[in-house]
Structure 1
């Protein structure tokens, strides 16, 4: 569908928008240069494949892009590109994805996508600052969301000049390529008003948050204590007292269940637990006990805040005392070493 161009000169990076466009409500006649490409109910694409013999010469890729535009080809597979390694390059809005050998300029394949197919639906032409911005996004694995979807031009421009003649797209929302599928929509809303010459850019993101399970901390048993004669004898006597004659149980499963239950009970009562490993050398048993009390007191309570304040103070004091002691020991060793060194001299 073509629309009539007005004589009024506009400067929107190559997009001409007339005064009759009411951006805030979406009403009025749109005056744009060229064709207005709206979402069709059904769409067809022309695919092609071409053995280009080589792309390792100046102007060859641009030549192929011109032929794609002339023949209205959306996707073209090329072979014998003779480009080394693998990567992606954007030329005149089209995207070229290639793969080849590591060093030698031979063989190699690639796919060329036209601007509409590669989903680069920006507004107008890109200037030098736009090229730098695109390079930064490519280097940091970022995707520009509000140029990732095809929209009407009034949903693309984010800034307009005071005379309402120039409209540019200079505000963006980016997201890491890994999460680009979570963005379902991104566009600007020129109807929002706060006395600014910029429009608000809104992105809709679908999140799937993982439910974190609290890890249950269990004390480990010191099984090496069974090597001690008194603990081993106590463990044996406790099991024999609690476990009756095995012949009283007819079923083997019942006997096994009863035996396992008795073993667990006696183990918890007789065998001691291993001491907790201190992550810091200056950490004391008192601080660890306070941490357990803080965990059981419940968050967002006065008791929790008081215990947390005490823990911070004791950690700070314990750490300072430990390093002071270390420094004193180093100073004493230094003095001893100097005395020995002087005596040798």
Structure 2
């Protein structure tokens, strides 16, 4: 399970409105009949149109300065294994999103309990994903893409009479490079913008920075970590516990749908890898043989070629450990393992 939290972008053209973001989320609805379009939902309702989302988020900005973010966006991205487990069922994903937002509310550190009833949010299911420059497959195809582009420039120069050369030979070399690129999909080289195969459902959530009463700010940003401060002589709790939220979201999926999560899929594993690699690999070595083998298969699917997972610490030399850490880290960052 991979969940990202991002504040509203404050660029040079910042206008404060949620309209640009909502319009971006409408990309999958373009060209579809109204009855086939994916609408928004919140904790109580389905089938909410985009204009209502914009109106309610934009109206809920009391006390916020002109250049402060008015909302945050969450992207909830189950792995293909998790989606397969629930049959890529959109209704189950909506049910899960509502549980995630309960966990989101509970992660705020305040003097009073924050519940999902305090949160103004709207969510939208998307069924497609496309490759970007950040994807491992695109990066590993890049050397071939560069050579192909150079050859295509030569072809155009010959066609326009600016250079001389053998067009047929150049085009044949282009075709060979297209076939030799290491990552293919349906017989074509994977490039940015190409739709990904398999289950790709994910949820976009737009959540107001202010609570439903438009009175209290609820900021989940990374700098708003849990802390206590003194205000008018009294100790006040503030902040958002991201670790608590991510763990709760993962545990909720497992409990709600009976999902058996492997160690390398867990948020705990990701934290260990980032903060204490030795403990990560010790935990990996300590898995029962069947779970260790399942971990190897998950890593392999994520593009990390691990012929065998070492069976003892002596086999895991420092250099090998750091190389494996680098590969696993990239897979975790891209969500390939689904964390």
Q: TM-score range by the shorter chain?
A: under 0.3
TM-score by length of 2: 0.21
| Greater Cα radius of gyration, structure 1 or 2 | 1
Higher relative contact order (CA 8 A, sep 6+): 2
Structure with the higher fraction of residues in helix conformation: 2
TM-score by length of 1: 0.21
